[in-house]
């Protein structure tokens, strides 16, 4: 798509938006045509806006069984899992639901869970698929440099990768310790020298939501869509 074509398309979309905003309508076949054109342009604008803002337009994708997969994402190595919308605070809040669950080696349910089973279950609750065992979990997300940089929801894996704990903030961690114990929050006993890696799987905080109300908000969204279409036009 050329730059001129992109600019022309944006002009058409803005014209339709202005018409809708002022309540301009036609009659008969003209109205039908205008309605169809408006719908098409609105869809194009929505798609461009979704690309520009990182959101999803239209209806959520569904599997063959009809179950929505829009908020289900896989954790990745070297990248933050943003698709589920979960944050570090959500990780901590969900993990606290399992306080008191007894330690059971290999467990992943409220009947009993081990350290990595707890981590996998918490992220599954939030729409993020995590590997089952600690060495694999230790590769997910992005690395945090040290304990002073850790944020609630980060995973702390000690050297040897035989355990994993969830940092909850204020120098405390939540974990499933060992047989005979239950899921609990305790003071973090690890030092940086004890740690193999600290991993951030989801964003520490929610990203800012683009303004959508008022004239300035509409202008911001139009600009975002324009930039998206301009970028796609340059790449074509």
| Residue 82, pLDDT above cutoff 90 | yes
State percent of the chain over pLDDT 90.
56
User: What local confidence, expressed as pLDDT, does residue 228 receive?
Assistant: 60
- Token pair of 174, please? 């939540």
Provide the pLDDT for residue 155: 98
pLDDT given at position 10: 74
d(CA 201, CA 145): 14
Mean pLDDT (the chain) is 79
pLDDT digit string (tens) for 196-236? 999 999 999 987 654 444 444 444 555 555 666 555 554 54
**At residue 26, does pLDDT exceed 60?**
no
Nearest to 1 by CA among 48, 60, 68: 48
DSSP secondary structure string, the chain?
Answer: --HHHHHHHHHHHHHHHHHHHHT----HHHHHHHHHHHHHHHHHHHHHHHHHHT---SSPPB-TTS-B-TT-EE-BBTB---TT---HHHHHHHHGGGTTPBB-TT-EETTEE-HHHHHHHHHHHTTEE--SSHHHHTTSBEEE--GGG--TT-EEEETTS---EEEEETTEEEE--STT-BSEEEE----GGGEEEEEE-S-SSPPPPPP-SHHHHHHHHHHHHHHHHHHHHHH-
pLDDT of residue 45: 53
Topology of the domain covering 86-200: endopeptidase fold (from Nostoc punctiforme) (3.90.1720)
Least confident of 39-48, 109-118, 162-171, 193-202: 39-48
Contacts of residue 212, defined as CB under 8 A and 6 or more positions apart, other chains included, come to: 218, 221
Active site residues: 115, 163, 175
Stretch(es) of the chain classified as CATH 3.90.1720.10: 86-200
Output the pLDDT for position 214: 47
- Read off the pTM: 0.61
User: Model confidence over 196-207: pLDDT tens digits?
Assistant: 999 999 999 987
The predicted structure's pLDDT at residue 97: 98
pLDDT of residue 220: 56
């Amino acid at each position: 798509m050329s730059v001129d074509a992109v600019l022309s398309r944006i002009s058409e979309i803005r014209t339709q938006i202005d018409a809708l905003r002022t309540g301009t309508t036609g009659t008969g076949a003209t109205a039908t045509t205008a309605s169809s054109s408006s719908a098409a342009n609105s869809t194009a604008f929505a798609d461009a806006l979704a690309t520009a803002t990182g959101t999803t337009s239209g209806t959520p994708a569904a599997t063959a069984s009809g179950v929505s997969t829009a908020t289900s994402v896989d954790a990745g190595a070297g990248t933050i899992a943003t698709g589920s919308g979960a944050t570090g605070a959500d990780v901590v809040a969900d993990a606290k639901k399992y306080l008191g669950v007894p330690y059971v080696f290999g467990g992943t349910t409220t009947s009993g869970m081990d350290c990595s089973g707890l981590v996998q279950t918490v992220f599954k609750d939030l729409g993020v698929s995590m590997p089952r065992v600690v060495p694999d979990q230790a590769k997910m997300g992005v690395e945090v440099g040290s304990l002073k940089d850790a944020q609630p929801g980060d995973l702390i894996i000690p050297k040897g990768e035989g355990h994993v704990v969830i940092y909850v903030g204020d120098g405390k961690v939540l974990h499933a310790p060992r047989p005979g114990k239950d899921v609990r929050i305790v003071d973090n006993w690890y030092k940086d020298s004890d740690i193999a890696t600290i991993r951030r799987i989801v964003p520490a905080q929610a990203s800012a939501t683009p303004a959508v109300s008022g004239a300035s908000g509409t202008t911001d969204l139009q600009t975002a869509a324009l930039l998206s279409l301009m970028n796609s036009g340059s790449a074509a």
